[in-house]
Amino acid sequence: METNPPRSSTDVEGPSIRIAWKDEHSIQAEWSMTKEFEQEVEKKFAIPFAELPFVLRLFDVTDRKEIRDDGTDLYTDFDINHRSSEWILYGVTQGLEYCVDLGIRMVDGRFYSLSRSQMI
């Protein structure tokens, strides 16, 4: 389940994420978040930022061209370190199309997308 990114009445700028092919079997994801957005996320979830379970959700959008959130999207989650600002995603195939969400996956499986990349 995906929900809208946490926003406040101050409308703090959310994270940005970019992806690019590293080679024919991997994609490099890079993102950035402002300190203000980190504080908003921490406040929304009532969990210290360093303890939030961040993931990159890699979607295969080859046949669909969009994320439908209807339970049939093909994706793989990569657990990431909250201090990172880039990650290499392996297990992809050149010639297919992908996009990536930077998000938080709670213990009960709920997923909250904070930002979505372009499709490549």
- The CB density around residue 104, as the number of other CB atoms within 10 Å, is 20
- Mean pLDDT, rounded, for 41-50: 95
Assign 12 a pLDDT band (cuts: 50, 70, 90).
Answer: low
Give the mean pLDDT of 32-42.
95
pLDDT recorded at residue 52: 96
Q: Tell me the C-alpha distance between 93 and 118, whole Å.
A: 17
95 or 72: which leads in pLDDT: 95
- pTM of the predicted structure, to 2 decimals: 0.86
- Say if residue 47's pLDDT is above 50: yes
In degrees, rounded to 5, the angle at the alpha carbon of residue 109 between the alpha carbons of residues 20 and 114 is: 40
Over residues 59-87, mean pLDDT = 90
Which residues lie closer than 8 Å to 103 by C-beta, 6 or more apart? Answer: 2, 54, 55, 56, 57, 111, 112, 113, 114, 115
% residues pLDDT > 70 (the chain)? 90
- CA quadruple 65, 73, 99, 13: dihedral positive or negative? positive
